[in-house]
A and B are shown apart, each in its own frame.
Chain A
Amino acid sequence: MHVLAQADLRLDANAIDYLLLAFYFLLVLGIGYLARRQVSTSLDFFLSGRSLPAWVTGLAFIAANLGAIEVMGMSANGAQYGMPTAHYFWIGAVPAMLFLGVVMMPFYYGSKVRSVPEFMLRRFSKPAHLINGISFATAQILIAGINLFLLASVINLLLGWPTWVSVIIAAAIVLTYTALGGLSAAIYNEVLQFFVIVAALLPLTIVGLYKVGGWEGLADKVSGGPGGAEQLSTWPGNQLTGFGSNFLSVLGLVFGLGFVLSFGYWTTNFVEVQRAMASKSMSAARRTPIIGAFPKMFIPFIVIVPGMIAGVTVTELMGENKAALMQGGSAPSGATFNDALLLLIRDLLPNGMLGIAIAGLLASFMAGMAANLSSFNTVFTYDIWQTYLKKDRPDDYYLRVGRVVTAAATILAIGTAFIASTYSNLMDYLQQLFSFFNAPLFATFILGMFWKRMTPTAGWLGLVTGTAAAVTVFGLTEFGVWDLPGQGGAFVGAGAAFVVDIAVSVVATYATQPKPANQLVGLVYSLTPKDTRQHSTTGEDAGWYRRPALLAGIALAITIALNIIFF
């Protein structure tokens, strides 16, 4: 079955396509090399010396996330579920990004922590810090494995190189420029790949819409297909969540995906937050996720819509194939929804645009993995190595450790890539990981930030029990005790982790001693003087169009409008 899919998926790349691909990688490695010559201190290596303007970090913020997950996973989801997939953007991303910019960023940027675990250390104590550091590092390696696996499978399917060669070559390229240039080079690549992927997906969407007769034509075809007209409206999204009841489905989307998973992901995921920390002022740091929200809300149109087009025009995915796949079986053609975007590219793009599409895909997987590596590097070097193993060494020692750690992480990711390869639906796998790692962290974080009494013991106990709750829900769904198809299992797991974490933390807090208030200044909302949370409004931060709250308001209004239009 897989052999058939491979034979069908071979793209007709010619010399021009390879040339366009080669040009991209030469440019990225060239930038990495040049950036390395400017890297001087370890702060520069890790946080780019806090010198980048908000629009660069804003784009990097969103580009760090526009990796394998979005491009392949969301187009697969689009082919399978249609417009409800947009919840991952309009409910599952934009509100949390705005919250990060408006409420959380002053704490991150103001307290000058280098990582989320470091925040845990200062707010709580060493156990919470160590647990969070280890769980974060584990999550990064597992997710890097997904990116590496997808990158390798694209190389394998498009260019015909064997998977193991593809994995090793992909790993070598990613390692080269993260190790050489650090975060600066990674950010340059992220921003670049964002434009390449848009340059590839936008024409693909336009041609696809031409082919199906515009939006009207697509709507007709989707309504007539196995998913029915339900796939054209975002709410209540029963097919996506796996809940029969509309009420539970909406609840799962709003609380599970919209609140716990998405706030957990966007506000505590250091891959993302690190981008904002690299900006040059408090105002720029706050604007980073808000600026990122604007492109984010329109990405569904160039990711989900091509997926939907693939679901109704690609021979291997339409009609009975789609029906069989939606039943959870395998299609007679041997294709899966994960192939949607690649099949559409094969069907529609001529040589030339094909090369750009391949470059864009490969680059976005690399960007995702590079982001995992660089945040793993920061957390491992500073939060685990420097804090618990080798203290008080000179700066260049930690810089060297950082480079070795990056190399070791790449080798580990090759291992986790093979774990990822055993999952048939990577989106489910990923949402599961988020429910284990991000949901409890978010609960502890938000409680610790707004409740000054919360004690150090409550900090680590909440994290441990929250993760245990999510793992329990995963076990129940995995072994069929509780039947939840779709991605509902992860939403419920995230909700359980959140509730258990909060409950345990509250109980533990009243049983133990809190930290003295003077140690919590700048870390807890009520103990932080208002002026230290303020950003400057002069010089490069002046002007109404640079006010974070106003920008956030505009972004929120557009998102609500989009939800109404596609209701």
Chain B
Amino acid sequence: MATESGSHRAGVFDVRTVIALLMGVYGAVTTVMGIGFTSEAEIAKSAGVNINLWAGLGMLVFAALFVLWVKVRPLRVPEEPEQE
């Protein structure tokens, strides 16, 4: 538990960090799949679109944007939830 008074950074509990981690890993895996391990037959199955590659790149960009958001606007959690 953080000891600063008033509030502390959410850190790993900032759900944006977790989303970025998940999407980053998913994006990286599917991008690599799209570059090296998606067969012609599979591309033909997906209407000629290398969807692993494009979706993977999309997820990587998305993850990068979330990392940026966390850096620019860190989430601060009050130490004690206000109660009446």
Binding site for B on A (CB under 8 A): 16, 19-20, 23-24, 27, 31, 34-35, 38, 43-44, 49-51, 53, 56, 112, 188, 191-192, 195-196, 199, 202-203, 206-208, 210-211, 280, 347-353, 356
A27 touches B22 (CB 8 A): yes
Binding site for A on B (CB under 8 A): 1, 12-13, 15, 18-19, 21-23, 25-26, 29-30, 33-34, 37-39, 42-43, 45-49, 51-52, 54-56, 58-59, 62, 75, 77-78, 81-84
Using A50-B81, A51-B81, A191-B15 as known contacts, say yes or no to A350 and B21 having CB atoms under 8 A apart: no
A352 touches B30 (CB 8 A): yes
B59 touches A199 (CB 8 A): yes
Q: Which residue of B lies closest to A194 (CB)?
A: B19
B42 touches A199 (CB 8 A): no
Sample of 17 A–B contacts (CB below 8 Å): A16-B37, A19-B29, A23-B26, A43-B81, A51-B78, A195-B23, A196-B22, A196-B26, A199-B59, A210-B48, A211-B47, A280-B78, A350-B42, A350-B51, A352-B56, A356-B26, A356-B30
Which of B43, B45, B51, B83 lies in contact with A203, CB distance below 8 A? B51
Q: Which residues of A contact B77 (CB under 8 A)?
A: 51
A192 touches B81 (CB 8 A): no
A31 touches B18 (CB 8 A): yes
Using A51-B77, A188-B18, A203-B54 as known contacts, say yes or no to A351 and B13 having CB atoms under 8 A apart: no
- What is the distance, in angstroms, from A37's C-beta to the closest C-beta of chain B? 9
In whole angstroms, what is the CA distance A112 to B38 when docked? 54
Q: Which residues of A contact B33 (CB under 8 A)?
A: 16, 350-352
Q: Which residues of B contact A112 (CB under 8 A)?
A: 84
Query: Which of A27, A51, A352 is most buried by chain B, counting CB atoms within 10 A of its CB?
Result: A352
Using A192-B22, A350-B51, A353-B52 as known contacts, say yes or no to A207 and B46 having CB atoms under 8 A apart: yes
Closest A-B pairs by Cβ, 3 of them: A49-B81, A352-B33, A350-B42
In whole angstroms, what is the CA distance A350 to B49 when docked? 10
Which of B13, B29, B37, B38 lies in contact with A38, CB distance below 8 A? B13
Q: Which residue of B lies closest to A49 (CB)?
A: B81
In whole angstroms, what is the CA distance A274 to B62 when docked? 29
B29 touches A210 (CB 8 A): no
B19 touches A192 (CB 8 A): yes
